[in-house]
Amino acid sequence: MCGIFGISGHNEAARLAYLGLYALQHRGEESCGIVTCEKTRMRSHQGMGLVGDVFKEATLKTLTGNIAIGHVRYSTTGSSVEKNIQPFLVRHQSCSMAIAHNGNLTNTLGLRDLLEGKGSILQTSMDSELIVHLLAKSRRKDRKERVVDALAQLEGAYSLVMLMDDVLVAARDPFGFRPLCLGRINGSYVVASETCALDLIQAKYVRDIEPGEIVFISGKKLESIKPFPERRHAFCIFEYIYFSRPDSNIFGKNVYQTRKRLGRCLAKEAPVKGDFVMAIPDSGSYAATGFAEESGLPLETGMIRNHYVGRTFIQPSQLIRDFRVRIKLNPILDVIRGKKIGVVEDSIVRGTTSKARIKTIRDSGAKEIHLRISCPPLRFPCFYGIDFPTKKELIASRRSVAWIREYMELDSLDYLSLSGMLKSMLLPECEFCTACFNGKYPTPVSRKHGKDMLEKK
C-alpha dist (Å) from residue 123 to 57, 88, 128, 392: 30, 10, 11, 31
Of these, 348, 396, 416, 433, which contacts ligand AMP (CB under 6 A)? 348
Of these, 89, 151, 181, 349, which contacts ligand AMP (CB under 6 A)? 349
Q: Is 166 in the site for ligand AMP (CB under 6 A)?
A: no
Residue of 392, 401, 330 whose CA lies nearest to 372 = 401
Stretch that binds ligand AMP, among 122-130, 207-215, 290-298, 339-347 (CB under 6 A): 339-347
Identify which of residues 197 and 371 has a Cβ nearer to ligand AMP in the complex: 371
Identify which of residues 286 and 388 has a Cβ nearer to ligand AMP in the complex: 388
Q: How far apart are CA 36 and CA 59, in angstroms?
A: 12
- At residue 40, φ and ψ (nearest 5 deg) are -115, 10
Q: Is 352 in the site for ligand AMP (CB under 6 A)?
A: yes
Whether 220 and 9 have beta carbons less than 8 Å apart is answered as: yes
Restricting to residues 367-406, which ones interact with ligand AMP according to CB under 6 A? 386-388
Restricting to residues 258-297, which ones interact with ligand AMP according to CB under 6 A? 283
Min separation Cβ 7 and ligand AMP, Å: 29
Residue of 120, 191, 131, 184 whose CA lies nearest to 157 = 131
Min separation Cβ 65 and ligand AMP, Å: 35
Restricting to residues 55-114, which ones interact with ligand AMP according to CB under 6 A? none
Whether 81 and 52 have beta carbons less than 8 Å apart is answered as: no
Q: Is 193 in the site for ligand AMP (CB under 6 A)?
A: no
Q: Is 28 in the site for ligand AMP (CB under 6 A)?
A: no
Min separation Cβ 348 and ligand AMP, Å: 5
Identify which of residues 261 and 350 has a Cβ nearer to ligand AMP in the complex: 350
Q: How far apart are CA 307 and CA 83, in angstroms?
A: 30
2 part of the active site: yes
Min separation Cβ 373 and ligand AMP, Å: 8
Q: How far apart are CA 83 and CA 88, in angstroms?
A: 9
Stretch that binds ligand AMP, among 172-180, 256-264, 350-358, 418-426 (CB under 6 A): 350-358
Min separation Cβ 257 and ligand AMP, Å: 19
Min separation Cβ 312 and ligand AMP, Å: 6
Identify which of residues 46 and 374 has a Cβ nearer to ligand AMP in the complex: 374
Q: Is 30 in the site for ligand AMP (CB under 6 A)?
A: no
Q: At what angle do helices 255-269 and 285-295 cross, to 10 degrees?
A: 50
Of these, 239, 294, 345, 414, which contacts ligand AMP (CB under 6 A)? 345
Q: How far apart are CA 289 and CA 261, in angstroms?
A: 9
Of 2, 37, 181, 265, which is the active-site residue? 2
Identify which of residues 34 and 236 has a Cβ nearer to ligand AMP in the complex: 236
Identify which of residues 63 and 303 has a Cβ nearer to ligand AMP in the complex: 303
Min separation Cβ 243 and ligand AMP, Å: 7
Query: How many chain residues bind ligand AMP (CB under 6 A)?
Result: 16
Identify which of residues 25 and 354 has a Cβ nearer to ligand AMP in the complex: 354
H or E segment and range at residue 164: strand 159-164
Whether 157 and 105 have beta carbons less than 8 Å apart is answered as: yes
Q: Is 242 in the site for ligand AMP (CB under 6 A)?
A: yes
Q: Is 347 in the site for ligand AMP (CB under 6 A)?
A: yes
CB atoms within 10 A of CB 271: 17
Taking the alpha carbons of 218, 224, 229, 233 in that order, is the dihedral positive or negative? positive
Identify which of residues 69 and 329 has a Cβ nearer to ligand AMP in the complex: 329
Sheet holding 2-8, edge to edge: 41-48, 31-38, 67-73, 2-8, 188-192, 181-185, 204-208
- At residue 9, φ and ψ (nearest 5 deg) are 80, 35
Identify which of residues 216 and 388 has a Cβ nearer to ligand AMP in the complex: 388
Residue of 414, 412, 307 whose CA lies nearest to 366 = 412
Residue of 32, 74, 84 whose CA lies nearest to 56 = 32
Q: How far apart are CA 402 and CA 316, in angstroms?
A: 29
Min separation Cβ 350 and ligand AMP, Å: 4
Q: How far apart are CA 65 and CA 48, in angstroms?
A: 24
Length of the chain: 457
Min separation Cβ 379 and ligand AMP, Å: 13
Q: Is 31 in the site for ligand AMP (CB under 6 A)?
A: no
Which active-site residues does the annotation give? Answer: 2
Q: Can you give the binding site for ligand AMP, defined by CB under 6 A?
A: 242, 283, 313, 345-354, 386-388
